[in-house]
Structure 1
Amino acid sequence: ALTTETERKIRMVQLRTVSKREKILFPVVLLMLVALLLPDAAPLLGMFCFGNLMRESGVVERLSDTVQNGLINIVTIFLGLSVGAKLVADKFLQPQTLGILLLGVIAFGIGTAAGVLMAKLMNLCSKNKINPLIGSAGVSAVPMAARVSNKVGLESDAQNFLLMHAMGPNVAGVIGSAIAAGVMLKYVLAM
């Protein structure tokens, strides 16, 4: 509803190739900045950066492969089981919990709409046009938000592949969410 058919058909220019040095420096610099400016978010972003560093450095290939495949599945199962074991209906179905869920849905909607509108605003002053659909991927639902942006783009133009373009805002949404959580931990819990 926020984009026109013409906007959804915008083809973005091919992304530049990112060097191996940049791929290795990104998690290191990101973690250093977060650790200096917002130490409460460092453990969460540290794991994200550590995983990227393992994959991109190529030094610990076996370890990286294990973490990306088997270990992540095992951790996901145990996380789901442990959360599910604590999830009793009389504790979960309370007005406060349902209010939090409602706020989350509203936040995702606002984040998605704001991303689309920001991409449209950027098109007013940008030489290379940006497909507003990638703005909707700026929430931390990885990789589904990027896949949805790509799917909607393909429905308008079967040759318009937006997945790699949408992954940038998608990962930025993850980093932004972790930093926002760190800010909340630092300032809200300090009250």
Structure 2
Amino acid sequence: MFDAIGNGLYGLIAGFTNLHWSNPVMIGLGCLLLYLAIKKDIEPLLLLPIGFGCILVNIPLAGLMEEEGFLRTIYDAGIATELFPLFIFIGIGAMTDFGPLLENPRIFLLGAAGQFGIFLTLALALALGFSKLDAVAIGVIGACDGPTAIYVSSKYAPHLLSAVSVAAYSYMSLVPIIQPPIMRFLTTEEERKISMGAVKKTVSKTTKILFPLIVTVIGGLIAPQGLPLLGTIMLGNLMRESGVVSRLTKASENEIANIVTLLLGISIGATMDGKNFLTPQTLMVLGLGFIAICLDTVCGVMFGKLLKVLSGGKVNPLIGAAGISAYPMAARVAQREGQKYNPKNFLLMHAMGANTGGQVGSVMAAAVMLSVLKGMGII
């Protein structure tokens, strides 16, 4: 009888006795993510469920990520199948107005230039000894696009999913801090003062409807491996621009996006088990992710300087920094930096064009990379 009572009482402290040193550390990290989300308002929609999922999975003996555990069920349903990031892309497409990009198509080149960080970071990761598939997942952090990073990582390097996801969303939220020093370093004061006139070209509804269709077909033929990413974002945009499925558009922007974001976040947090997360490899992934975002900004601004020369001084190089997928933060950063040096400067719409170009460019860059690697037999 006393043995039974003793065993029963031991069951109440079994969680404490089975704590690995990494579990309290990760619970602390989960609390830090919650603090950043709640107190600092840094990507709260993702960091809050990620942080809570991190806390849950690091409580011993709960078995939440074991077979039939509820976190494992969510993970298998949406992350292992890659459905969650694709649903998010439908919502992103439904929220995105490509009008500023279509008004000034040459700005799309800035969105393409802003993706060079992906390929440079891929090469750097390979040089540091990462496997080819791991390097692909790390390089895509440079897309500055959380869903793209999650999709590629879950497909080709699931063991890096938590590190890649945390890096992607953390650095996206830090764009207003990371980019300005680089923008100032690479441009002169005179360049930052360049005023860009308003684009008077109007875009017809027909053009806006044809755009997602043309991009899907051409992009799919060029890089079929990335068609799930490209097709879902363009489906969302087509629903928006058609104007005939407002219920689906609103649901994609709100209910579907909100539910999937919650499930996506908590399932990513569930991969942050201390024994697997606290490794030198994780620190290297975070470091390479930071380098990727910096390289994106450098390449975008430098290409902006090239466009300035080719246009006879009519393009402000600052908008090149907006050619990433952090929408609309990167465009606002370019606007704010431009007005610091010329209060009459209004770069926002031009920067928004580059920013939406960066959204398409990030997906296309990932698609091209995956298709090339498929052709080489690497994936």
Cα deviation, residue 128, structure 1: 6.1
Which has the larger displacement, 6-15 or 175-184? Answer: 175-184
DSSP-derived class of the 1:34 partner: helix
Please list, as runs of the form range in 1=range in 2, the aligned pairs for 1:39-118 lying within 5 A after superposition: 39-118=224-303
Q: How many residues align?
A: 191
1:11 corresponds to 2:195: yes
Which has the larger displacement, 41-50 or 142-151? Answer: 142-151
Q: 2:365 and 2:286 mapped to 1: Cα distance?
A: 18
Q: Which amino acid aligns with 1:31?
A: T
Gaps of 5+ in 2: 1-184
Cα deviation, residue 127, structure 1: 4.1
Q: 1:25 and 1:69 mapped to 2: Cα distance?
A: 25
Q: Which has the larger radius of gyration?
A: 2
Gaps of 5+ in 1: none
Q: Residue in 2 aligned with 1:145? A: 330
Cα deviation, residue 32, structure 1: 0.2
Deviations 1:34-92 (A, max 9, x none): 22121111110111101111111101112212212332222222211111111223322
1:30 corresponds, among 211, 215, 221, to 215
Q: 1:154 and 1:93 mapped to 2: Cα distance?
A: 43
Cα deviation, residue 176, structure 1: 2.2
Please list, as runs of the form range in 1=range in 2, the aligned pairs for 1:155-170 lying within 5 A after superposition: 155-170=340-355
Q: Residue in 1 aligned with 2:118? A: none
Q: Residue in 2 aligned with 1:136? A: 321
Q: 1:159 and 1:70 mapped to 2: Cα distance?
A: 40
**Distance 1:49-1:128 versus aligned 2 partners, 3 A rule:** farther
Which has the larger displacement, 65-74 or 32-41? Answer: 65-74
TM-score by length of 1: 0.91
Determine if contact 2:304/2:316 at 8 Å carries over to the other structure.
Answer: yes
Q: 1:158 and 1:70 mapped to 2: Cα distance?
A: 40
Q: 2:228 and 2:354 mapped to 1: Cα distance?
A: 22
Determine if contact 2:222/2:368 at 8 Å carries over to the other structure.
Answer: no
Q: Which amino acid aligns with 2:350?
A: H
1:2 corresponds, among 175, 179, 186, to 186
**Distance 1:55-1:128 versus aligned 2 partners, 3 A rule:** farther
DSSP-derived class of the 1:59 partner: coil
Q: 2:332 and 2:274 mapped to 1: Cα distance?
A: 33
RMSD of aligned residue pairs (Cα, Å): 1.7
Identity between Structure 1 and Structure 2 (%): 51
Determine if contact 1:5/1:156 at 8 Å carries over to the other structure.
Answer: yes
1:181 corresponds, among 343, 346, 366, to 366
